[in-house]
Structure 1
Amino acid sequence: MTRLFNDPAAFADEALEGFVAAHRRWVRPAPGGVVRAAARVPGQVAVVIGGGSGHYPAFSGLVGQGLAHGAAVGNVFASPSARQVRQVARAAEAGGGVLLTFGNYAGDVLHFGQAAEQLRADGVNVRVLPVTDDVSSAAPEEAHKRRGVAGDLVVFKVAGAAAERGLPLDEVTRLAALANDRTRSFGVALGGCTLPGAGEPLFTVEPGRLALGLGIHGEPGMGERDVPSADETARLLVDTLLAELPAGVEAPAGQRAAVILNGLGAVKYEELFVVYRQVSRLLAAAGVEVVDPEVGELVTSFDMAGVSLTLCWLTDELEPLWTAPADAPAYRKGAVTAPVATGDEPSTAPVDTTDDTPLVADEDGRRAARRALAALAAVRATVDAHADELGRIDAVAGDGDHGIGMRRGSHAAHEAAADAVARGAGAATTLDLAAAAWADRAGGTSGALWGVILGSVGSALGDTGRPTPATVASGVTAASTGVMRLGKAEVGDKTMVDALVPFADTLTRAVAAGAPLADAWDAAATAAEAAAAGTAELLPRMGRARPHAEKSLGTPDAGAHSLALITRAIQQTLATKEVD
């Protein structure tokens, strides 16, 4: 378990700060992550990678010559925000365009996709490539739904080497996509990982049992079996991957492959070598020629006692890119020219979510802003009180980070709103700044969706005039629509939407019937609570819980549950007649 930490919510930020201090020869800080310390090469494609913390060396440790140009680093097991990705990309970009590549998880797809749209609007040429190598997370016919695990390294390495050659963006993207298409990974574990500050691991495995097909965010495996010997484990890994060959590979015999035997955090190097001893024998017996194998901790999951095997079936194009030199803090191969610091390091200060734009608000608008601030204070207190519970619910079939993410987001939103109110902002400006702060600080899917919720309600309220119950209801309806559009979820998918839609519908009906806002909100919160509880009987159809659908039966969705808690907390503030 993670034993050395301060505030668990600050763990990712403090870890990144220490990483930069220890590796200034390779990296320099950028808002939201790190970029190469070496001078940028004009016209070169910038390969920007990223994901949540907790996977070191991924992602910050893979920034350096021959590999990535920058990494956006999110909270523990949570994707970086779109703002973080955009800022890192702008710090790394050198005129040749940007390839954004990352593991295929809902939050990462959402935030990297948003960042790509924003960068394109700024005139930057951008391509996006999710990595999909985990064979256990979806069937071959749905390979586009697969997670990105240790195969990330292969794709990042090929992309970085192609960019180092000076190839154009379309060619770098094509080669990286080819590497992704020809890469397969499979993992097993003897025990789960424990997040900073948590009292127990995200999942456990009975003594003498081995979990199959686990995820790198602490997602439990797809099944279990008795613990085999090291040689039997090697055979399980090899046989699983040889059973699914990519298109164009008719048989393993005569093929050349990049091989990664990856420790997930608690399996020691000597153990990995014992397993690799048999992996190499089995591949040789199958006629596979191994090229530059990697054995070690490359994509981890805190202290997970597990191991994964990755095979990339090389082509004449891919092999020289896999074997090309690289020099990053956690990955070195061959010899490259020593990096030279540029001396123009970006600021390491936290992203400022306020601005100096003149505020336009009347007294009604400022009074509405104070009520919004009171509501956000109640949200923050409720999240703090239930953060551990939210993490436990999320860990049943997900990654257990929901409590930490909600705490970071609600705190940031409240602080941004407090600053806005102190400057005389109206409700729209206050909630818009709170929305940006929540999305940026929390990251992950829920961070983006709560940003949509706050922003939608704020837009409806405006900065002037006294908001009516109908105005509030229209804002909540817009929030519901926006969340479904951005998250692509529907009622029944076992997500936040299952509580948000009945909340919005009930509020709208009650307001239309003439109920005061506090009474209408009370009825809507009751509907949200019932709907959130009802998600316990649903099977997830989206997100990280989808591959573990049966495991989540009997447990409500964490996002729906947190939304219900928040709507009830806000109802208490609406019942108060005055807010100072």
Structure 2
Amino acid sequence: MTRLFNDPAAFADEALEGFTAAHRRWVRSVTGGVVRAAGTPRGQVAVVIGGGSGHYPAFSGLVGRGLAHGAAVGNVFASPSARQIRSVARAAHAGAGVLLMYGNYAGDVLHFGQAAERLAGEGVDVRTFAVTDDISSAGPADTAQRRGIAGDLPVFKAAAAAAEEGLPLDEVLAVAAHANARTRSFGIAFSGCTLPGAGEPLFTVPEGRMAVGLGIHGEPGIGEEAVPTADEAARLLVGTLLKELPDGVSTPEGARAAVVLNGLGSVKYEELFVVYRTVAALLAEAGVEIVDPEVGELVTSFDMAGVSLTLTWLDDRLERLWRAPADTPAHRKGALGADETPTRTGAADDDSDDTPVPAASAASREAAATVLTALRAVADTVDRHAEELGRIDAVAGDGDHGIGMRRGSTAARRAAADALALGAGAGTLLTRAADAWADRAGGTSGALWGTVLRALGTALGDDDAPTAARVAAGVTEASAGVRRLGGAEVGDKTMVDVLVPFADTLAAAVTDGTPLTDAWDRAAHAAETAAAATAGLLPRKGRARPHAEKSLGTPDAGAHSLALITRAVHAVLRNDH
């Protein structure tokens, strides 16, 4: 259990602040994360990594010479926002381009992809790469669907060492892809983790049992077995990984491998060493030469009791990169030469939104006040249902949907209030709320709700009083935008299953001449019906996909929260007329 915290909502920010204060020799703080204290050497590709808080030393602890040039750090178990990633990348960029690296989770894919688009629009040469090492999350035929766990370290290390050698961006990307293709991980856990402020763990394991193949956010594993001895755990980890050799490794005999035995939070170092003695013996029996093994906490999950084993099958080039020196707060290897003269490369650390509020008509400003009331109702609704949303999400996901929605809706409400005080119209108010929601919530829901609010803001604008037709058009564009961004369609058991019928029903009712309040009521009813129907669907997208059968009979958390929000907004519209 995480016992030492102040405000749970501020935990990630305060942890990063303390980390930076403790490690000024290596890092300095920038908006959204940290970069190397001395900056990126001019002309060197900047490797920027990132993900949610709660996994230390990933990600901030891996920033330093020989490893990452910067890390974007999101909220607890939530990806950093596109704005945070862009800020860190701009601060790390030294003229040779940026490689954005992260674990393969939906929220990270969305936010890092959006950040890359914005950086490219500013003239930065940028690439993205998602690590996919966890063999339990998808089969050998679907490796692109696998999530990234402790294999992050050897893949990040290979790319960063290639950048230190002065390779150009596309070659650094190729090294990352090669290292990822030869990296496999598998994990077990004996108890779940408890997030700051939560009264119970995200998941539990029956007494005397262990979860096999679970994810680092508490995603359910692929099964349960009796708690093993240390030697039995080692045999399970090694045996499972040796059953799936990557292309180019036809037999383990004579092969070389970087080995990472990773503690997930509560398994102590002495326990890890007991397990590792048998891991080393089993790999030696199989004919594997172990190269520079790492035993310790590399990618954690708060207080989760568990371990994972990672094997990166080396060739001459990957071995050189794995052995290359590194000096970071949490990972040090070899001896580096004299540091270059400190230089602050990249853009200035200023990613604040100081854009003046555009002029707006009186009618639009009046509508903005109604929009703010609606956003307050949204935040209140989410707050009341946050625990329920978390329980629904935990059935087959990681249980953080309520937390993320609460952070996002609260931030959107505050940004909207600030915008209204500055005289913003409805469009500007919504776009500022959109950015705040995406920035504060992170994760998949942050990106998608940012898309929803921005589409509405674009449709309403600041010039005229919103009409029913413009509202319906904005919701229709939001529906299309979410599908483009997330790749989900109706039937995949996501918020799209609610958003599409809501948008279609609203548009049809408005086209028939129904007043907005009544049209919204009809659409909200369609949303509620669709949300309930998701209980009968099997998920085909997101973290719940590998455990589809677990969610049968339970509605999708994102679909349910959207239905709740549509009804809350209807109450505001009804009271406004």
Q: Which residue does the alignment assign to 2:297?
A: 297
Structure-2 residue corresponding to 1:485? 484
Deviation at 1:544, TM superposition (A): 0.8
Name the structure 2 match of 1:74: 74
Question: Which residue pairs with 1:230 in the alignment?
Answer: 230
Once the two structures are superposed, the pairs formed by residues 197-212 of structure 1 within 5 Å of their partners are 197-212=197-212
Q: Is the 8 A contact 1:394 1:400 kept in 2?
A: yes
Gaps of 5+ in 1: none
The one-letter code of the counterpart of 2:325 is P
Q: Is the 8 A contact 1:25 1:341 kept in 2?
A: no
Native 8 Å contact 1:57 1:299 kept in 2:
yes
Letter matched to residue 389 of structure 1: E
Q: How much has 1:513 moved relative to structure 2?
A: 2.5
Provide the rounded CA distance (Å) in 2 between the counterparts of 1:47 and 1:7: 32
Q: Does 1:387 align with 2:386?
A: yes
* Pair 1:59 & 2:37 matched: no
Q: Partner residue of 1:462?
A: 461
- Contact 2:39/2:92 (<8 A) preserved: no
CA deviation vs aligned residue, 1:128-175 (integer Å, no higher than 9, x gap): 111010000111111011000000000111111111111211221111
Specify whether residues 12 and 338 from structure 1 end up closer, same or farther in structure 2 by C-alpha distance, changes over 3 A only.
farther
Shift of 1:374: 0.7
User: Which residue does the alignment assign to 1:356?
Assistant: 356
Partner of 1:413: 412
Q: Does structure 1 conserve the Cα–Cα contact (< 8 Å) formed by 2:392 and 2:555?
A: yes
Alpha-carbon distance in structure 2 between the residues aligned to 1:558 and 1:355: 35
Give the equivalent residue in structure 2 for 1:34. Answer: 34
Q: Do the aligned partners of residues 90 and 210 (structure 1) sit closer, same or farther apart at CA in structure 2, a change above 3 Å counting? A: same
DSSP-derived class of the 2:543 partner: coil
Contact 2:42/2:345 (8 A) holds in 1: no
Which residue type is aligned with residue 101 of structure 2?
T
**In structure 2, how many angstroms separate the alpha carbons of the residues matched to 1:481 and 1:40?**
39
Secondary structure in structure 2 of the residue aligned to 1:534: helix
SS at match of 1:246: coil
CA contact (8 A) 1:30 1:345 kept: no
Change (3 A) 1:23 1:338: farther
One-letter identity of the residue aligned with 2:419: A
Residues 255, 313 of structure 1: 8 Å contact kept: yes
Give the partner amino acid of 1:184.
Answer: R
State the shift of 1:194 in Å: 1.1
The one-letter code matched in structure 2 to 1:264 is L
TM-score by length of 2: 0.97
Task: Indicate if the aligned counterparts of 1:439 and 1:448 stay in contact, CA closer than 8 A.
Answer: yes
Match for 1:286: what amino acid?
A
- Deviations 1:206-248, CA, capped at 9 Å, x for gaps: 1111111100111111101111111011000000000000001
In 2, are the aligned partners of 1:202 and 1:396 still within 8 Å (CA)?
no
Aligned to 1:534: 533
Q: Which residue of 2 aligns with 1:557?
A: 556
Residue number in structure 2 paired with 1:494:
493
- In 2, the alpha carbon distance for the partners of 1:344 and 1:422 equals 37
Unpaired runs of at least 5, structure 2: none
Identity of aligned residues (%): 73
The AA in structure 2 aligned to 1:62 is L
1:521 is aligned to 520
The residue aligned with 1:424 is 423
SS in 2 for 1:527: helix
Q: Is the 8 A contact 1:31 1:346 kept in 2?
A: no
Q: In the alignment, is the contact (CA less than 8 A) between 1:65 and 1:328 conserved in 2?
A: yes
Matches within 5 A, 1:116-515: 116-337=116-337, 342=343, 352-353=352-353, 355-357=355-357, 359-515=358-514
Q: Distance in 1 between matches of 2:346 and 2:498?
A: 45
Distance in 2, matches of 1:530 and 1:16, equals 42
Structure 2 counterpart of 1:38, one-letter code = A
Give the Å deviation of 1:515: 2.1
**In 2, are the aligned partners of 1:9 and 1:407 still within 8 Å (CA)?**
no
Number of residues paired by the alignment?
A: 576
Q: Distance in 2 between matches of 1:542 and 1:478?
A: 21
2:316 is matched by which residue type in structure 1?
D
1:97 offset after TM fit, Å?
0.9
Deviation at 1:352, TM superposition (A): 3.4
Instruction: Give the structure-1-normalised TM-score.
Output: 0.97
* 2:310 partner SS: strand
Note the C-alpha offset of 1:39. Answer: 3.6
Q: Which residue of 2 aligns with 1:105?
A: 105
Q: Provide the C-alpha distance between the structure 2 equivalents of 1:577 and 1:431, rounded to a whole number of angstroms.
A: 18
Name the aligned partner's letter for residue 6 of structure 2.
N
